[in-house]
Structure 1
Amino acid sequence: MITIEELSTEEEVVKIFPLMKDLRPFLDEERFREIWRAMQPDGYRVYAMYDEGEIVAFTGIQIRTNMYYFRHVFVHELVTRPDIRSKGYGKHLLAFVHEWGREHGCVTVALESALSREDAHRFYEEKMDYDRFCYSFKKAL
């Protein structure tokens, strides 16, 4: 049985660290906890997907507002356990994010994906009907 639950305490959220480590290998658990705590005042939320009581995927989301997406859900992370990808978990979880966004007055879902994650790009474009429409740039300070 598949369920999706919000993880709201640090003790709950740390359970997704192994999956986060797959997406962000540069993080250690201490830094992960520190960043999670820093993101809380800005409304960052974590939802875990369970199958038969085991975490199989998670998403980290936040409501934002700007001049081009308006009120939107920003997906910081969407991760499925590597050994069970392509079984529909990501699609189910992202559909949950879409509905959650609608319920919270959002008009768009936005996310960024690293250039190297071509499988993820195919998933977003082909399975979830997302548009690739811009580049994101960064500069280390």
Structure 2
Amino acid sequence: MSVKLLTDELDIARCFAVYQELRPHLSSADELVKRVITQFTESFQLAAIFDADNAVACCGFREMNTLAWGKIIYIDDLATLSSERGKGYASKLLEFVIQYAKANGYKEVHLDSGYQRLDAHRLYLNQGFNLSCHHFQLKLS
């Protein structure tokens, strides 16, 4: 099982089934590709694990520099196809991002997770993450 950093539109499109489970508002592979390509200009990166032709797990992350935490990596998305869970894919992607952060001089790795995602919380805690804050959101429309 190897992790691949994606730059090719075809590879990004092959992540659509994974992303559709995590982000059901995404309507098509084309929309995913357009949004990821746009986010690439904002330091976003997309890593994936493939089984044959399609992605089975994906992790989107970005570089940030904040007053609160300094130079960090923020994980936007971490998802595994529901049919492929329990095979270590998410752990492998987390390990990849953590090693990337260490190798590039980042001080911390951060992420948000929905309250209902108990299995994900267990994974993050087992990987050494701490539950350090709440994330608040105000929708403007």
TM-score (norm 1): 0.90
Shift, 1:140, TM fit: 0.9
Deviations 1:35-72, CA, capped at 9 Å, x for gaps:
22321211111111134665321111111010122111
Greater than 6 Å deviation, 4+ residue runs: none
Q: Tell me the distance in 2 between the aligned counterparts of 1:10 and 1:91.
A: 25
Could you say what secondary structure the match of 2:14 adopts?
helix
Aligned partner of residue 3 in structure 1, secondary structure: coil
- Give the match for residue 76 of structure 2: 76
Q: How does 1:91-106 map to 2 (within 5 A)?
A: 91-106=91-106
Cα pair 1:3 1:51 within 8 Å, conserved: no
Residue by residue, what CA displacement relative to the aligned partner does 1:66-111 show, whole Å, maximum 9, x if unpaired? 0122111110111112112122111111011100111111010000
2:21 maps to 1:22:
yes
Matches within 5 A, 1:48-127: 48-51=48-51, 55-125=55-125, 127=126
1:133–1:49 distance in 2 versus 1, CA, 3 Å: same
Seen in structure 2, the aligned counterparts of structure 1 residues 17 and 54 have a Cα distance that, compared at 3 Å, is: closer
Unpaired segments ≥5 residues, structure 1: none
Please tell me the root mean square deviation across aligned C-alpha atoms, in Å.
1.6
Do the aligned partners of 1:59 and 1:78 also contact (CA within 8 Å) in 2? yes
Select between 29-38 and 86-95 the one with higher mean Cα deviation.
29-38
Structure 2: which 5+ runs fail to align? none
The range that moved more, 91-100 or 115-124, is: 115-124
Q: Distance in 1 between matches of 2:52 and 2:101?
A: 26
Structure 1 pair 119/63, CA: closer, same or farther in 2 (3 Å)? same
How many corresponding residue pairs? 139
Matching residue's letter, 2:31: R
